[in-house]
Each structure stands twice: as C-alpha cells, then as structure tokens.
Amino acid sequence: MGVPACGNADRDVASVYEHMPNAKDLVIAHSFEQKQWRRGHCQRWDGDIVAYHLPQSIEGVLIVRALDTLRRECVEDEWFRHLPAYALALALGAVQTSIEKSQRKPDDILLASTALLAPFEGVVRKNGVPTKLRVDGLAAILLARSSTYPITQLARDIVDFNACESSIMACILNRPSPFESVSPAYFANDSMGYDGSDQARLKALGTELFVHLPRLLMLLRSLSLSEFSGRQLLADALRLHNSLISLHDQHAEQRLLQQIEVQSMSSLRPDSPPQSHLHFASVQDYEALAYYWQGRLCLLRVGQRLYDIASSCRVQISGEKRPSRSFKSRAPSHQNEISRLAKNLLMCSKYTETLRLRKQIRLSAHAAAIVWGVINEDALSCVFESEVEKSSLLAMLLGRANIALGAHPDLTTEDMNLAADMFAGGEPKGRFVELFVSQ
C-alpha cells in the first residue's frame, strides 16, 4: 500500500482494488498517481508503488502503512540486524504460505507481518529498496488515525521504537519531534496504551519526555534570538517545563530497581575504588529505566538554565499572582535528583557495552553527553574520591561516545563540552552533531 499524503488517508484507502492472477500475490491499489507519490513523499523514489491488500479495519490500514514506511526507513539495519538471514527467509516463507492457504482473505495481523518481512526478501536476495524516508513520514501516518479507534500493541511498539532517537535528532536539528502531535494514547498510562507494569509505566513516561524535549529546547534557544518577545517565550518555556516535570513515578522506579542486580567490579586503576554496575534482567528493563533517566535528566538540566534566566527577568507566568521564584531557591531538591540520575546512568555503562541495536547505541551517546555535562558542572563533585576518579569517568564517557558514533578521528573534550551544552539549550554545533546527523 502506498503511503498517501497526510490528511487523505481515508479517501485513498476507499479506492478500487483488483486481484492478481497468482494466489500468493497481494492486491494492487489504484488510489493515486505515481507522480503524486514522488512529489509529496520521496524525491528519490523511482520504482512502482508497493501495494497491499486492504485490511479489514482502519487500525490495520495504519499498521500496514506504518510498516511499509519502516521498510523505506531501511529497518533491516535496525530491528533484525542481530538475527541471521535464514531466520528472516523462513519467517517470510511461512507468512507467504499462510497467505496462500487463506483463500485470499488474510487478516490484518498476517498482512502486517507481510509488510514487516517483505523488505528482508530483498535483503536476502541483495536487492533491497534504494530509498530511506525520515521518521516524519511515520508520524504523519499515525496522526491520520482517529483517537476513537483502539490502539494495538504493534502500533505502540512502532512509536516506542522511533520516538526517543527521533527526538534526539530533532533536538540537534532544532525542530519539534515528529511525534509531538501524535495522540497521547500511544504513550499514555491508561487502559488503551499501558499494560499496568512498572516497566511499561516508566517506558511511557520516558517516551513522553523525549517527545516534548525538542520543543522546550527550541524555546530556550529562541530566547537569545528574540529581542521583543523574549519574555513571552520564556513564559511559554517555563510553562512547558513545569508540565513535563510532573512526568515522574518514583514508586514505579523504585519497584523496578528492586529487580535489578547491582554488581561490583574492581577498577583498572589501583588508586580508584571498586565500581558498581547495574545488571538488567532484560533489555526491556534497561530501556524503561535508562530512557526515563535520560529524559528526566535532560529536562532538569534545561530547567536549570530556564530558571536562571527567569530569576533575572522576573517573568510572571499567566495565572500566577507573583513572579516566578528563581531556580536557585528550588535548586536543592532538583540538584539531588540530577546527581542521582547521572550516577544511575553511569552505572549502566557496563550493560551498555552489550547493546547491539543501532538505536540503542546512539541513545547511549546521548546519555554520555548529558552525564558529561553534569560532571563538568560539578554536580557530582561530592561523590568523587579524587580527581583521578573524575578523569576516569570522563574518559569512559568519551570512549562510549566515540564507539557509539564511530568517530574517526576520536571526539575531543571540546566536542563533548559542545554536545553537553547543546542538550541543555546551547546551539547545536561540533563534531558530535555532525556524526549523529550523518549516520
């Protein structure tokens, strides 16, 4: 199914379909001209529109479209990079056999499976699709659905998989997250999108934080460029920050942490104390906690700058009868949390070395940059046994970023300083930015 222009989803779906002569072939859609596809979605596309049989529900249509979009996102380099090619070939063959036996009436899940596995046939045969759409296209597809339809776990997984990394890219490019306007039900803690576990709860909170952080950084950066509307921009930024700061669940975090094993390892340096590391039972536990910590730590660092500016401008937010207090008066409570979150992320470093997905590795580079900023801001100075330990941690973070971004030559201390400043509201510049965007 070709992905239609945003806003024309339902009209394009309600088009004429005809059967192909071979039983294993899917049905071709005649919904819009190929030139409209080229104009609206991918200038590099120079092949026929990929088409699928019309699913039996609107949600199924959107799932197939989303997976078709992921196909053009070269998803074979992401989700299944760690699986052998023969397993993909077997899975695709099984789905094709099921379609043949379904008497040309496959259900939505079968069609979604076909949409997901189809690109890997090209990978196995060394004939993949030569296009790569940005994740903005996926966000537009998800926006097309009505919030009254039920949300499937597959649709939630698609958002979860893309939201955090795409938000980091949005922070670097100084634009909103492509998922900013997606229905909150995709990551809300209600019966539609939340299975009741602490893991799911924290994953939802972390995703929502990441999705809205790019907008907050845009507002903060705009303050230095605006001479006349700066006070309103700051008020808007403070309002958004205060709404995001409420996205936390300390009890769920503590309960999930009780299931995590803390391991001690001897330091490579004889003058350094033993190091503690978190060993997670599953990568899902790691993602739930680590991405929640990353999102919240990034938010608190941005909040520091916002309230420093507010303390000098004495901005009065609408609805308040007196000017906002300076950040310094609020600092103790958040400073303790900043230190705790940074230390938790440092304790994830050993587990991070076992990650294999490109998305996870790139997110670890973001974690290294923001923790680097916390250390250099002396927020963790009270926990260092010596300057040697501090230098050792900084070297470890620099090495993590170099590995994650494939830096050649290696990133420098100044590159990491620029990256840490960028994720706290500074201008995007430096080799960290160049490497993250170019990969």
Domain boundaries, the chain: 9-143, 153-438
Extract the residue ranges of the chain whose pLDDT is less than 50: 1-55, 75-76, 79-83, 122-138, 189-194, 315-332
Q: Which helix (H) or strand (E) holds 193?
A: none
Do residues 303 and 241 make contact, with C-beta atoms less than 8 angstroms apart?
yes
Q: Give the whole-angstrom CA distance, residue 370 versus residue 293.
A: 11
Q: Which helix (H) or strand (E) holds 150?
A: none
What's the whole-model pTM score? Answer: 0.67
pLDDT of residue 107: 67
| Sign of the torsion angle spanned by Cα atoms 38, 44, 46, 49 | negative
Long-range contacts of 417-420 (CB under 8 A, 24+ apart): 417/372, 417/376, 419/369, 419/372, 420/369, 420/370, 420/372, 420/373, 420/376
pLDDT of residue 359: 87
Q: Give the whole-angstrom CA distance, residue 407 versus residue 435.
A: 7
pLDDT of residue 112: 65
| Sign of the torsion angle spanned by Cα atoms 92, 98, 101, 102 | negative
Please report, for residues 91, 147, 157, 322, 381, the alpha-carbon distance to residue 184 in angstroms, rounded to integers and kept in the order given: 33, 9, 14, 32, 38
Alpha-helix residue ranges (DSSP H) falling in 326-386? 331-346, 349-352, 358-376
What SS3 class is residue 28? Answer: strand
End-to-end CA distance of the chain: 28
pLDDT of residue 208: 92
pLDDT of residue 118: 56
Q: What is the pLDDT of residues 130-169, one digit of tens each?
A: 233 334 444 555 555 555 555 655 566 667 778 899 899 9
Q: What is the pLDDT of residues 395-424, one digit of tens each?
A: 999 999 999 999 999 999 999 999 999 999
- The 3-state DSSP composition of the chain as helix, strand, coil percent (nearest 5) reads 60, 5, 40
Helix-helix angle 136-143:58-72, to 10 degrees: 170
Tally of CB atoms within 10 A around 350 = 16
pLDDT of residue 47: 38
Left, alpha or beta for 215 (phi > 0: left; psi -120 to 50: alpha)? alpha
